[in-house]
Chain A
């Protein structure tokens, strides 16, 4: 292994700028003559707008313009498009109500944007926004997904009856019913997957300018600048793409929330064109809480049928998914193809049926948040398996082992569409149990008991699917986009390399890991490789970073482009070395006539290609630069085992995670330091979901947890040290063998935590605790059983 090649724990090169304050996030950009936008948002969950009076705001000091939804509509600005269409059980398309950039006639959630004030300073814009007088007629609102589907519920969109966006299903219902009919045990569980607020630490921001020739540039906090350019250019503002440059520079975390095309991007770009001055908008955190797409929010009923020995016979799931007030860009895909298709998990359950009703409510739109659908599936399944163990009396680990898809069964076709290429669930289970000293747990439980504490241990053996693909298949499933990735490899005349990747780094460290891949593959010194991303003016059309796809899809595109470089290099070398191209070998940056000492370095080949004096010019173009688009053949399937150990203080109900072990199969590891960091960060978010975080709305749609004072973000003292191990099987269908590691932490951990809590409370006969398992919830459970405890 080269010092900085694949597998080396290289320290990140991007850190030098981040550690010295030299990072360049969107809000750090300022353009000459820049104006500031402030958005007046709805403070009503649901209301008709009878009138908007902007005259006072328009006359306020420093104000340059005030625009409402009517102004945008009059100028032909379109609504925000949805990138995925789901079909109902009966084959009809989902309801797709309009999503105006600024409200038209009605507001549907707290935070719905109504008007924008553009002024010389931020303070002036904000002051003036207060002066906008809006005549609201309040309408009844609904926030809870169950309430929204009840008869007589208020309608979020007048033309969407019952608030149902779609009523979708997957699987073989008849086979499932037959299996349930002959089952020895049927286990049932109702569970809620709590709504979360992503809260990347950098609030969203957008800065747009339009030059004298009508060319636009938008700097935006995005995970996928090309997708924004396409959606905004083609569907919202009708700007030709060649005149619209979108730059996503350093971005301070995304976790899904920065995938989507948001209203503010369109607002500042449109306004910059109208005013011919740069316009900047930066979210205040309280705006992030009511305008960034939120995550999760499922209510499910699940049933598992087992035979006498504990073999899973069938799984039946019914889920209500809250979509919020409007369809965010990829929202429809989350509770369907990113969720129900994962319900086989790591188990060979032969029959599965799931139905999902996606529902509009008067809440902030919901879309993908770290894991997106897959945490919901893993949580449901891993809780259900623990309940099955409890109710059948079979040990929870033995029950899992009995039902694992065995390593020799790959490729394995699940009953819910996916075909897994590789995995070894026994291996990750075994290693995780070992690292967590599972054997020694009962002694620790007894010791804790002597200290008056309730100790529990929980495991989850989860599966996820990443790098969603191929484009043709996702197109059939309703995606309105392709899901390939692109890379251009430019070998410079002196042999150094610049890579232009369509993936985007907002914390993942691509500048380091991608350079490691190139150093490894082309044998170029690591220092001589530079990675460029996040600028549509530089990078070919790429799809960006989400769903743990950067390495598996983006990295594979790089390998494919490098292979083209090597193939061309071989022809050049053959010419220079007077051999046939078939006889040229390439290794460690050197082209060699096989079995001889006749060689040319990559640098020499590059130089010959750019100064083609002695060059096969008849058959080869000069230059050494290749672009490849890589469309994966399948998803990748990381998986693994998380073990969580908790201690509960029965006096206060406070749960402390005292040990956490994650052993994940992420396929090929490029940089173990970064993989560990990704897993630790994901686990922190998963523990956050399980114990602390909850976006709470009251029945009328008021967000009660609208700041860091009410929404409990995990802090350093809420979290344990996290032991991370990787035990990899290789992905069989991409050239790197990579599966992805960005989301495993957030997917595997919530069920491990709740399983541990239920285990700690097992003497009380507790079957389930909904997330977040707050001290109040736990304390109430313990209190309810106190009389019995005292009696014993």
Chain B
């Protein structure tokens, strides 16, 4: 079986995988990182979104072996070691942007990438367009959009996390 070595949430790992193993399967089944979810088999729901070398990717669209040498960040690696939540996590909680929580890890990872890529600002329309690849069946997106707008303010230094 081929081996793949990569960094996941800052930790180096080397795992044996079948050539057909997907990155999401590697995370969930080999590494026990079950925070990354699977919501479809056609790459359309975004529940599996993680960061690969700083960009959001759908981890169901990639073979594990393709992640050789990469740095992967999953929802489990987002909060600081002392438990302080990332501002996006904090704002999702503050604005009730999750219900069943199933889409949430992927939604949060996509949202962070979206905010990172738009230091100049994000309109509601841009946020909605930016979430095109992530399905949520519970919230109607209303509060997710609010949470992302609020997190943008914090992440780009316009507001302190607590005051938001």
* Chain A residues proximal to chain B, CB less than 8 Å: 11-12, 14-25, 27-28, 123, 199-203, 250-253, 255, 284-286, 506-509, 673-674, 676-678, 680-685, 707-709, 713-717, 719, 721-722, 745
Contact = CB atoms under 8 A, between A and B. Distances in A.
A716 B127 contact: yes
B140 to A, nearest CB: 3
Most buried by A among B128, B129, B140: B140
A250 B98 CA distance: 13
Interface string B77-99: 01100000100010011101011
Contact of A286 (B18, B34, B41): B41
A19 B47 contact: no
B96 A11 contact: yes
A200 B100 contact: yes
B96 A717 contact: no
B98 A19 contact: yes
B89 A19 contact: yes
B155 to A, nearest CB: 16
B100 A717 contact: no
A23 B35 contact: yes
Contacts of B33: 21
Contacts of B143: 677, 680
A12 to B, nearest CB: 7
**How would you classify the secondary structure of chain A's contact residues: helix, strand, loop or mixed?**
loop
17 contacts: A11-B96, A18-B98, A19-B89, A21-B35, A28-B28, A201-B37, A201-B102, A203-B38, A252-B101, A252-B102, A284-B41, A285-B41, A286-B42, A506-B100, A507-B101, A707-B42, A715-B132
B15 interface: no
A28 B137 CA distance: 20
Nearest to A708: B44
A286 B44 CA distance: 12
A5 B85 CA distance: 26
A277 B131 CA distance: 41
A682 B132 CA distance: 20
A709 B44 contact: yes
Given A252-B100, A507-B101, A715-B132, A21 B41 contact: no
A202 B131 contact: no
Contacts of A509: 99
B160 interface: no
B144 interface: yes
Contacts of A682: 140
Contact of B20 (A15, A20, A123): A123
Contact of B45 (A14, A23, A201, A685): A201
A512 to B, nearest CB: 10
Contacts of B139: 677, 680-681, 684
Contacts of A24: 34
Most buried by B among A123, A676, A677: A677
Contacts of A203: 38-39
Contacts of A719: 128, 140-142
Nearest to A20: B79
A22 B74 CA distance: 12
Contact of B100 (A11, A201, A708): A201
Contacts of A201: 37, 39, 45, 47, 100, 102-103, 135-138
Given A506-B100, A722-B142, A20 B137 contact: no
A253 B92 contact: no
Contact of A11 (B41, B47, B93, B128): B93
Interface in B66-125: 74-76, 78-79, 85, 89, 92-94, 96, 98-105, 108, 124-125
B75 A21 contact: yes
A721 B142 contact: yes
Contacts of B135: 201, 708, 713, 715
A14 to B, nearest CB: 7
Interface string B4-48: 000000000000001010000000100001111111111011010
B151 interface: no
Contacts of B78: 20
Contacts of B89: 19-20
Given A12-B96, A201-B102, A201-B135, 18 more contacts: A15-B93, A18-B104, A19-B101, A20-B35, A20-B79, A20-B85, A21-B36, A24-B34, A201-B138, A507-B100, A507-B138, A680-B140, A685-B140, A714-B141, A716-B127, A716-B132, A716-B136, A717-B131
A21 B105 contact: yes
Contacts of A714: 140-141
Contacts of B124: 721
B137 A253 contact: yes
B109 to A, nearest CB: 10
A604 B131 CA distance: 52
Nearest to A284: B41
Contacts of B44: 707-709
B94 A11 contact: yes
Contacts of A685: 137, 140
A17 B44 CA distance: 25
Contacts of B93: 11-12, 15-16, 19
A19 B108 contact: yes
B132 A717 contact: yes
A250 B101 contact: yes
Contact of A253 (B79, B85, B138, B144): B138
A605 B48 CA distance: 50
A503 to B, nearest CB: 15
B64 interface: no
Nearest to B83: A20
3 closest Cβ pairs, A-B complex: A21-B35, A18-B101, A252-B102
Contacts of A678: 99
B150 interface: no
Contacts of B101: 14-15, 17-19, 23, 250, 252, 507
B41 A507 contact: no
A19 B94 contact: no
Contacts of A21: 33-36, 74-76, 105
Nearest to B131: A716
A561 to B, nearest CB: 26
B57 interface: no
Contacts of A25: 34, 37, 102
